Amino acid sequence: MAKTAVKKISKKAPARETDDFYFLKILVYFIVGTLWIKVNGVVVLPIGLLLGVLLAMHDKFTIDRKIEYAILLVAALLNLAVAGFFISFWT
């Protein structure tokens, strides 16, 4: 009788982020979320929020996207209420 080889499939553990990397990622999402576009002094579009959502969707080291989305939203609203980074265009 011939013996058949049994292959053991090992599951790789998911990649874990260090605390430093996670804090840096949160900081980057916050800064990106504060970018807005102004045209003739009028705030028009939260470009940082859109870019941040795209980044969060394609992040391979994600723990919880809901946290990243919340950080982006808070940064965008805080920037609109107080002060932040604006990209201005004059026509």
The reported pLDDT for the residue numbered 45 is 83
Q: Are strands 42-45 and 85-89 parallel, antiparallel or unpaired?
A: unpaired
Half-sphere exposure at residue 75, Cβ-oriented, CA atoms within 13 angstroms: 28
Sign of CA dihedral 33, 53, 21, 18: positive
Grouping H, G, I as helix, E, B as strand and the rest as coil, residue 35 is strand
For residue 55, with 0-12 CB atoms within 10 Å meaning exposed, 13-18 middle and 19 or more buried, which class applies? middle
More confident residue, 14 or 88: 88
Predicted confidence band of residue 10 (pLDDT cuts 50, 70, 90): low
Lowest-confidence segment of 2-16, 49-63, 72-86 by average pLDDT: 2-16
Averaged pLDDT score across all residues of the chain: 79
Q: CB-based contacts of 39: which residues, under 8 Å, 6+ apart?
A: 88, 89, 90, 91
Taking the C-alpha atoms of residue 62 and residue 22, their distance in angstroms, rounded to an integer, is: 9
**35-50 mean pLDDT:** 82
The reported pLDDT for the residue numbered 59 is 78
What pTM was estimated for this model as a whole? 0.69
